[in-house]
Amino acid sequence: MIRKNSEYPLQPPRERGTGRAFLFALVMHALLGFFLYRGIQWQNSTPEGEQAELWTEVPDSAIPRPVVTPPPTPVAPAPPVRDEQADIALQEKKRQQQEAARAAQLGEQQRQLKLKEQQEAEAKRQQQLAAEQAAQLAAQKAAKLKQQQQAQQQQQQQAEKLKQQQLAEQQKQQQLKEQQEQQQKQAQTEAQKKAEAEKAAKAKAQADAAAQAKKQLDNERRARLAQMQGLAGGVGGSSSSSNGLGKSGTGSGSGGTAASPGYADKVRRLVLQHVNWGGETEGLETVVAVRCSPDGNQLSASITHSSGNAAWDAAALRAVKASDPMPRDVNGKTPDYFTITLRPAA
């Protein structure tokens, strides 16, 4: 990543070996100047004289004689002769050396200038590369930002679509729930109507049965009364009437044929143990007719006189049925038919 900071300006890369090449060039120039100097000095120096000894070969037969050689006469060194052509050659050589040095210097300047141009070109190239990298980075960043925005838009669209689907599903579930509740209510209403119809039919059947039982009981009473009157008239010649019913002074009692005076209290105590009532008590009185076998098992129980409160009538009838079997009388048998008048305890 390229840092955009004034503390780190862009600089061309340094070429390796520049200092070494410059030092090598200096050394070569110094050596060249030294050799030029030595060559010029060698040409301007005066040659020195030389001495030599000559020996002649002596035959073996000859007697050796010492030869005295005079000492050599010292030759004075000749003054240096300056040749005009040598001076011209020397000047030409100097001029060539100077031109060579100037050419070398010019070449070095051109090389430095070329190096500088290369460095500037490299700096420009680096700047251009940095600008291209920055532009490419900005383009990549913009493309990435655009992709992120597109992804966010797609996510938002998907979320909105999912939300709409969930809302539609909730509405569908709500409608289905309402339909189910409506169907349940309708079913409950129908069931309640059916139960009320069955209850009404059952109550009607019970009322019909009670009316039939009462009618039958009235017929039996009339027959027994006629029979008793006939027996009384035949024995004593006197007439008397009795319906064979007993009542209790507490508001509940029993009656029937051939029942002892205490039988009503016995039945009342048994039935009141099974009464379960928590409603109003004022003005409620229900008469239940019971038909039993001699051993006390109930054959039938029905309401002969309603209190006007169906709930209390049902509670009274349940209490009578829960008292099965009925208690036996003092003679060891239960009356075959009797009525029980029930009132709720205050």
49-95 pLDDT per residue, tens: 556 565 555 555 545 555 556 565 655 555 554 567 778 888 888 88
pTM: 0.30
- How many angstroms separate the CA atoms of 341 and 346, rounded? 15
Coil, strand or helix: which one is 191? Answer: helix
Average pLDDT, the chain: 76
Tokens for 336, please give them: 């075959």
Instruction: Give 235 or 162, the one with higher predicted confidence.
Output: 162
The DSSP symbol for 256 reads E
Report cis status (omega within 30 of 0) of the bond before 325.
yes
Among 193-197, 234-238, 253-257, 294-298, the range scoring the smallest mean pLDDT is 234-238
The DSSP symbol for 340 reads E
Tokens for 117, please give them: 């141009």
Contact 281/334 with Cβ under 8 angstroms?
A: no
Burial class (CB in 10 A: 0-12, 13-18, 19+), 284: buried
Burial class (CB in 10 A: 0-12, 13-18, 19+), 344: buried
pLDDT at 236: 33
Strand boundaries in 182-260, DSSP class E: 253-256
Give the mean pLDDT of 194-214: 73
- How many angstroms separate the CA atoms of 165 and 23, rounded? 83
pLDDT at 106: 87
Q: Who contacts 298 (Cβ-Cβ below 8 Å, separation ≥6)?
A: 290, 291, 292, 320, 321, 324, 325, 326
Question: Which position has the token pair 């990549």?
Answer: 140
Question: Which position has the token pair 């027994």?
Answer: 224
Q: Who contacts 72 (Cβ-Cβ below 8 Å, separation ≥6)?
A: 51
Contact 304/210 with Cβ under 8 angstroms?
A: yes
Gyration radius from the chain CA atoms? 77
Give the mean pLDDT of 248-275: 67
- How many angstroms separate the CA atoms of 121 and 116, rounded? 8
Q: Which residues pair with 305 in a beta bridge?
A: 287
Counting residues of the chain whose pLDDT is more than 70, the rounded percentage is 68
- How many angstroms separate the CA atoms of 14 and 191, rounded? 103
Residues 183-221: b if buried by 16+ CB within 10 A, e if exposed: eeeeeeeeeeeeeeeeeeeeeeebeeebeebbeebeeee
